[in-house]
Amino acid sequence: MGSTSSTLAKIPNAEDLMQETGFTPAHLVRLYDRFKVLDKDKKGFLTPQDFVAIKELAMNPICDRIIGAFFTSGGETLDFPSFVRILAHFRPIDKNRPKEPTSPDPINSRSNKLKFAFQLYDQDKDGKISRHELLQVLRAMLEKQVTEEQLESIADRTIQEADLDRDDAISFEEFRKSLEKVNIDHKMSIRFLR
Amino acid sequence: MTLLPRLSLALTLLVVFSELSQANILRSSSGSSSGSEGSPSTNVTSNSSTTITTLPIVTWKWHHVETPYLVALWVLVCWLCKLLAQLNARLKSFFPESGLLIICGFILGGIVWGADKAQTFKLEPRNFFYFLLPQIILDTGYFMPNKLFFSNLGAILVHAVIGTCWNAGAVGVSLWGCYLGGAMGDLNIGLLQFLLFGSLLAAVDPVAVIAVFEEVHVNEVLFIWVFGESLLNDGVTVVLYNVFDAFVSLGGSKINAGEIIKGIVSFFVVSFGGSLIGVAFAIIISLLTKYTGKVQIIEAGFIFVLGYLSYLTAEMLSLSAILSVTFCGVCCQKYVNANMDEKSVTAVRYAMKVFANGSETMIFVFLGVTAIDNVIWVWNTGFICLTILFAIVYRFIGVFTLTWMLNRYRLVPIEVIDQLVMSYGGLRGAVAYGLAASLDETRIKEKNLIISTTLIVVYFTVVIQGLTMKPLVKWLKVKRVEPTELKLIAKVNNRACEHILAAMEDIAGHYISISDLIFDTYITWFLMKPEARKNKDYLFSIFHKLNLEDAVNYVAEGEKRGSLAFLRNGDRTNVDFDKKFGMEFSGVMPDITSDDMCDTSLSIRDSIPSVSLDIHEQDMKDMNEDFNAHHLLQQHLYRSRKNHRHKYSRSDFKINQSEDEVQEIFQRTMRSRLESFKSAKMGVSPAKKITKHPKPSQKMSNGKSTDTSKSYPYGDEDFEFSEVDSAYSGDAAAAGGSSPMRAPPYTVGAGIENPAFMPEMDTPPPPWLTEVETDTSVAPSQRAQRQLPWSPTNLQRLTPLRISNRSTDSFVMADVPAAQDSPEEPPEDGTLPH
């Protein structure tokens, strides 16, 4: 996979992307290389099949959801900027970057990270995790030993705990409230290679 | 309890044996003054010199066999001690095994001392370093989770090198300060001797540490830190000890800056030299195993001989032998496992564990035996108490400082509680004693004081700290967890996040670095057999493992039942299996069920599969529904790959649960992909397949598993083409439950309540058969077509009995099945407990 290393110059709109995502040039170049590796047929974009071919992903119980998250806009293709934008959710929150109240929320902010997680559950994009949607995720994430009844009881319980307005579904606001104690920055940041 | 008689039996056994050994000892001490070390040759001459008057029919030749006999007897006695220690489950649950063994040693030592009025047996440093230690270190190295180790090597080295030096120096200097302050009376001991003492006390014992850590839930990073640290730190300690020893013999007056620099240089040369020797031997082993297939029967032995040689070679060159054998084990494992035959690999693993556990047991027992000796005991309260105090305090300071430094470069810092655990886990062990015992009495006047203090420190850390570790952690965890009890959604999401992160790392390509590439291509090419290189494919290896496991299970189960009947009564078999399974896991990974609720969740774990569904439902209705939901969730959520513990365990090397989980997930993925693939490609023709497996058979399972074409996963990264093949595996997996090991729930969900239903569950046609139809109708990829003809034969080979008879029926002898089924079913119903 050690294809020829690219330089920043080859990446279209590199400056804007860096500005938007907060990646350093080194990161961006690396991701671009990776993008090209994933893009086996040199199409210039990625398809869900390209992701499916990453063998480690097959070991991930929610890989379908994750792959789906890359293709939210409904299309079957993913170009490099979108690829980077999605990965940018997982950049650690910069501690020393001065906080400018005027600037918009960076992609890797806490609430954006949460939104990313939320949309994995919320497949029909109605802004709510319904019981059905939750069940689907749970089924994927729980061992096969768990019986259907147990699964349902877990799902009911989960919704009951988080559901503040008693509509039998978890809205994003409720989702955020439930996760208040969780250090999302730790949970949803990875270290990108340079 | 039934335990009691067994225990008493074991106790009497032990007493008998120790009496026996004692008798021998008596004889030996009366017979020859040379004791156990007496050379056989003198005995031979003395025997032959006695003139005989008549031909004896048998003669008493004790002196011929004395030494080896005593050795063998002691080995036996020590192992019996271990057996004894293992027998009492309740004692074991709170008392660390190493501590129990030491206490057994006290008792044995007492018996020997009572008989001889002196300690005839003690742990000689020579025996310890040449015969007992190497295999333990080789074992830990060989089973080291490699990737984890190398990715954390930096932190491990920081802790092992800097931490050890800090401990040695700080303890030595502080003790010296207190000595000057007059805290320990009048001793003939100087700063250098104190430093020497400090350095030998810095050895954190991997055996004791692992023993304790297995009982405590720690995360992967912490585990490898402590494990790696304790392993490398032994090597570092020995090196440090040698440097200070040289300083001591040089004498304080001759030490100048030059000598100190030489000491530092020698420290690094010895450590790195030792490691290099180890790597060199690892390469030799790997190369050799490329060609040892011809002598497969002794193949496994090469690993041990060469591992031992690497130890001795490093020792001969006065390099660090411990580091040498460590790196030898770490580096060769991957290639050895790939190159050698499956059987040899298993043999190596078993033998490795036998040797390591055996000598570990002996070491602990002898640590106890050695103590019962009035010669070595020199009591100096100030010295001993201060040593313990400093050893613990500086360990804490060292760990916290170093971790604080390392945390600055870590994304997710090591938490305080983990640091506490890490510091508290600084158990000292036999290496410290071995070093103390090998001090030179002419130069170190207070050798006996040092030995007795070292022993006290070892006992204190192993017994007291080992004993309090678990309660302490529990207490800390409970304290910390309580205020932030998470909601279910948060728990689910936390786990989801872990999966997401793992996925993102895969997507962003975290693992592929240049060095990996070089490794993968050149070194692998150099050190691995060509066939092995092919097998290295991940998919293949997963399926391979899965298959082996299945096959073994089926055969074992079939033999146990003695007939095909077992295949029928799903629930009893499964219960048995689960019991066994549960027990196994409670031993192997006590931390699955996270700590504070250990007991309750364990019981749940047992109850889910073995107790029938209705009971469980009642439970659910109960008020503890909440509790149940939380715990079910916690137990059964898949761990993300990052949190899998590919953990070294002292006494087990089974495929651990995470492996199973990975496989399960993988198969589910494959299955769902197959479904979507089918629906996408076949579009219109699903009618045929609706009748078959998915819903009914999935629940009923046992039926179909083995489209054992899963043995031909043809692991490609390229799923588009391999999809059809993997499809089998997907099914196999889903059904794959079929092996009782993996799918207890199905039976719970399905069979038990309604036994009458069971005979019907075979009605769906054998899946692979239908599979074949669908596949051909879909016009599969080239590869798939090529593969198809093979499947029936594979099927027959690896299929579980029940299926095999079914599938062969339908495939090969289409007329038999009816005849075969009928005799089988009636007894089936009869055997059901309901």
Q: pLDDT digits over B587-626, tens only?
A: 433 333 333 333 333 333 333 333 233 333 333 344 444 5
Q: Which tokens sit at B636?
A: 């059964």
B681 vs B775: CA distance, rounded Å: 11
Query: What are the pLDDT digits (tens) for B34-67?
Result: 333 333 444 444 444 556 678 888 888 888 888 8
Whether A97 is in a domain gets the answer no
- Chain A partners within 8 Å of B718 (Cβ): 53
- Chain A partners within 8 Å of B742 (Cβ): 144
Query: What are the pLDDT digits (tens) for B727-759?
Result: 344 343 343 333 344 334 433 333 333 444 444
Q: Chains A and B: how many Cβ contacts under 8 Å?
A: 197
Average pLDDT over residues B101-130: 86
> Over 80: is that where the pLDDT of B124 sits?
yes
Whether A86 is in a domain gets the answer yes
The last residue of a domain, from among A61, A90, A119: A90
If DSSP codes are grouped into helix, strand and coil, which group holds residue A186? helix
Query: What are the pLDDT digits (tens) for B624-667?
Result: 445 566 666 666 666 655 544 444 555 555 444 455 666 666 66
> Over 60: is that where the pLDDT of A103 sits?
no
Smallest CA–CA distance, residue A192 to chain B, in Å, is: 7
| Contacts of residue B750, Cβ cutoff 8 Å, sequence gap at least 6 | B699, B700, B701, B757, B761
> What does the pLDDT read at residue B425?
80
B132 vs B121: CA distance, rounded Å: 15
Q: What are phi and psi of B785, to 5 degrees?
A: -65, -40
- Chain A partners within 8 Å of B640 (Cβ): 60
| Contact at CB, B505 and A170, closer than 8 angstroms | no
Position B516: which residue type?
D
Whether A25 is in a domain gets the answer yes
Whether A172 is in a domain gets the answer yes
Whether A100 is in a domain gets the answer no
Conformation bin of residue B338: beta by default, left when phi > 0, alpha when psi is -120 to 50 = alpha
Q: What is the DSSP string of B201-249?
A: HT-B-HHHHHHHHTTS---HHHHHHHHHHHHHHHHHHHHHHHHHHHHHH
For residue B382, count CB atoms less than 10 angstroms from its CB and return exposed for 0-12, middle for 13-18, buried for 19 or more.
middle
Q: Which tokens sit at B591?
A: 């931390």
Q: What are phi and psi of B236, to 5 degrees?
A: -60, -40
* Separation of first and last alpha carbons in chain B: 28
- Exposure string over A93-129, b if 16+ CB within 10 A, otherwise e: beeeeeeeeeeeebbbeeebbbebbbbbbbeeeeebb
- Chain A partners within 8 Å of B484 (Cβ): 181
> Over 50: is that where the pLDDT of A161 sits?
yes
Smallest CA–CA distance, residue A164 to chain B, in Å, is: 13
Interface of B with A in 722-751 (CB under 8 A): 737, 742-746, 748-749
C-alpha triplet A179, A183, A189: angle, nearest 5°: 115
Q: Which tokens sit at B212?
A: 């304790």
B56 vs B286: CA distance, rounded Å: 54
Whether A99 is in a domain gets the answer no
> What does the pLDDT read at residue B755?
40
Of B493, B665, B746, the CB nearest to A61: B665
Position B322: which residue type?
I
A155 vs A141: CA distance, rounded Å: 12
Interface predicted TM-score of the whole assembly (ipTM), two decimals:
0.81
User: Positive or negative CA dihedral for B152, B158, B164, B170?
Assistant: negative
* Separation of first and last alpha carbons in chain A: 16
Q: Scanning every residue of chain B, which has its alpha carbon at the shortest distance from the alpha carbon of A35?
A: B508
Q: What are phi and psi of B238, to 5 degrees?
A: -60, -40
> What does the pLDDT read at residue B641?
53
Q: Pick the residue of B489, B574, B717 with the most A CBs within 10 A to test the interface with A by mutation.
A: B489
CATH of the domain at A126: 1.10.238.10
Does residue A79 share a domain with residue A119? Answer: no
Q: How many CB atoms lie within 10 A of CB B597?
A: 18
Q: Pick the residue of A27, A63, A116, A148 with the most B CBs within 10 A to test the interface with B by mutation.
A: A63
Does B674 reach chain A within 8 Å, measured CB to CB?
A: no
> Over 50: is that where the pLDDT of B360 sits?
yes
Does B815 reach chain A within 8 Å, measured CB to CB?
A: no
Determine contact, residues B424/B472, Cβ cutoff 8 Å: yes
| Contact at CB, B507 and A54, closer than 8 angstroms | yes
Of B411, B503, B616, the CB nearest to A63: B503
DSSP secondary structure code for residue B295 in this structure: G
B98 vs B208: CA distance, rounded Å: 7
Does B19 reach chain A within 8 Å, measured CB to CB?
A: no
> What does the pLDDT read at residue B545?
65
Tell me the pLDDT band of B685, cut-offs 50, 70 and 90.
very low
Tell me the pLDDT band of B561, cut-offs 50, 70 and 90.
low
- As beta bridge partners, residue A129 has A170
Average pLDDT over residues B309-313: 94
- Domains: count for chain A: 2
Q: Which domain holds residue A116?
A: 107-194
For residue B440, count CB atoms less than 10 angstroms from its CB and return exposed for 0-12, middle for 13-18, buried for 19 or more.
exposed
| Contact at CB, B620 and A52, closer than 8 angstroms | no
Does residue A132 share a domain with residue A165? Answer: yes
Does residue A191 share a domain with residue A121? Answer: yes
> Over 80: is that where the pLDDT of B327 sits?
yes
B722 vs A97: CA distance, rounded Å: 48
Does B522 reach chain A within 8 Å, measured CB to CB?
A: no
B335 vs B519: CA distance, rounded Å: 12
| Contact at CB, A1 and B517, closer than 8 angstroms | yes
Q: Which residue has the tokens 């790196």?
A: B327
Lowest-pLDDT range, B33-47, B185-199, B356-370, B459-473?
A: B33-47
| Contact at CB, B669 and A149, closer than 8 angstroms | no
> What does the pLDDT read at residue B537?
56
Q: Scanning every residue of chain A, which has its alpha carbon at the shortest distance from the alpha carbon of B612?
A: A147
| Contact at CB, B670 and A58, closer than 8 angstroms | yes
B236 vs B247: CA distance, rounded Å: 17
Does B58 reach chain A within 8 Å, measured CB to CB?
A: no
Smallest CA–CA distance, residue A70 to chain B, in Å, is: 11
Does B501 reach chain A within 8 Å, measured CB to CB?
A: yes
Of B697, B717, B699, B716, whose CA–CA distance to B707 is shortest? B697
Query: What are the pLDDT digits (tens) for B154-178?
Result: 888 888 889 999 999 999 999 888 8
pTM above 0.80, yes or no: no
Does B669 reach chain A within 8 Å, measured CB to CB?
A: yes
Does B646 reach chain A within 8 Å, measured CB to CB?
A: no
Position B330: which residue type?
V
| Contact at CB, A49 and B720, closer than 8 angstroms | yes
The last residue of a domain, from among A90, A120, A139: A90
B711 vs B727: CA distance, rounded Å: 12
- As beta bridge partners, residue A169 has A130
| Contact at CB, A154 and B633, closer than 8 angstroms | yes
Q: Scanning every residue of chain A, which has its alpha carbon at the shortest distance from the alpha carbon of B617?
A: A149
Q: Scanning every residue of chain A, which has its alpha carbon at the shortest distance from the alpha carbon of B670?
A: A58
> Over 80: is that where the pLDDT of A11 sits?
no
Does residue A64 share a domain with residue A116? Answer: no
- Chain A partners within 8 Å of B507 (Cβ): 34, 38, 51, 54, 57, 87
| Contact at CB, B411 and A190, closer than 8 angstroms | yes
A88 vs A82: CA distance, rounded Å: 10
Interface of B with A in 527-546 (CB under 8 A): 538-539
Does B494 reach chain A within 8 Å, measured CB to CB?
A: yes
Of A1, A55, A142, the CB nearest to B636: A142
Conformation bin of residue B509: beta by default, left when phi > 0, alpha when psi is -120 to 50 = left
- Chain A partners within 8 Å of B503 (Cβ): 57, 60, 62-63, 66
Interface of B with A in 86-115 (CB under 8 A): none
| Contact at CB, B503 and A57, closer than 8 angstroms | yes
Which stretch of DSSP H or E encloses residue B596? Answer: none
Q: What is the mean pLDDT of chain B?
A: 67
- Chain B partners within 8 Å of A182 (Cβ): 486, 490, 493-494
User: Positive or negative CA dihedral for B742, B746, B747, B748?
Assistant: positive
Smallest CA–CA distance, residue B266 to chain A, in Å, is: 36
Average pLDDT over residues A162-178: 82
Smallest CA–CA distance, residue B411 to chain A, in Å, is: 7
- As beta bridge partners, residue A78 has A46
Query: What are the pLDDT digits (tens) for B139-148?
Result: 888 888 887 7
Does residue A62 share a domain with residue A135? Answer: no
Q: Which tokens sit at B255?
A: 């030490």
If DSSP codes are grouped into helix, strand and coil, which group holds residue B247? helix
Q: Which tokens sit at B803?
A: 């299926």
Does B624 reach chain A within 8 Å, measured CB to CB?
A: no
Does residue A84 share a domain with residue A126? Answer: no
> Over 70: is that where the pLDDT of B817 sits?
no
> Over 80: is that where the pLDDT of B774 sits?
no
> What does the pLDDT read at residue B116?
81
B451 vs B435: CA distance, rounded Å: 9
Of B483, B461, B476, B440, whose CA–CA distance to B387 is shortest? B461
Does residue A75 share a domain with residue A30? Answer: yes
Query: What are the pLDDT digits (tens) for B184-230?
Result: 777 777 888 888 899 988 888 877 777 667 666 666 777 788 888 88
- Chain A partners within 8 Å of B744 (Cβ): 145
Lowest-pLDDT range, A98-102, B55-59, B415-419?
A: A98-102
The last residue of a domain, from among A24, A55, A90: A90
B637 vs B641: CA distance, rounded Å: 12
A186 vs B713, residue with greater confidence: A186
Whether A139 is in a domain gets the answer yes
- Chain B partners within 8 Å of A117 (Cβ): 493, 496-497, 500
- As beta bridge partners, residue B829 has none
Query: Parallel, antiparallel, or unpaired for β A128-130 and A169-171?
Result: antiparallel
Tell me the pLDDT band of B449, cut-offs 50, 70 and 90.
confident
| Contact at CB, A148 and B626, closer than 8 angstroms | no
Q: Scanning every residue of chain B, which has its alpha carbon at the shortest distance from the alpha carbon of A2?
A: B514
Does residue A138 share a domain with residue A181? Answer: yes
Does residue A86 share a domain with residue A1? Answer: yes
Does residue A65 share a domain with residue A138? Answer: no
A122 vs A117: CA distance, rounded Å: 9
B592 vs B581: CA distance, rounded Å: 13
Q: Which tokens sit at B809?
A: 């029926």
Q: Scanning every residue of chain B, which has its alpha carbon at the shortest distance from the alpha carbon of A146?
A: B745
Determine contact, residues B143/B653, Cβ cutoff 8 Å: yes
Does residue A112 share a domain with residue A82? Answer: no
B193 vs B189: CA distance, rounded Å: 6
- Chain B partners within 8 Å of A23 (Cβ): none
Whether A29 is in a domain gets the answer yes
CA atoms within 13 A on the CB side of B822: 3
Does residue A67 share a domain with residue A136? Answer: no
Give me the count of residues in chain A: 194
Q: Scanning every residue of chain B, which has its alpha carbon at the shortest distance from the alpha carbon of A50?
A: B718
Percentage of chain B surpassing pLDDT 90? 9
| Contact at CB, A188 and B497, closer than 8 angstroms | yes
For residue B714, count CB atoms less than 10 angstroms from its CB and return exposed for 0-12, middle for 13-18, buried for 19 or more.
buried
For residue B114, count CB atoms less than 10 angstroms from its CB and return exposed for 0-12, middle for 13-18, buried for 19 or more.
exposed
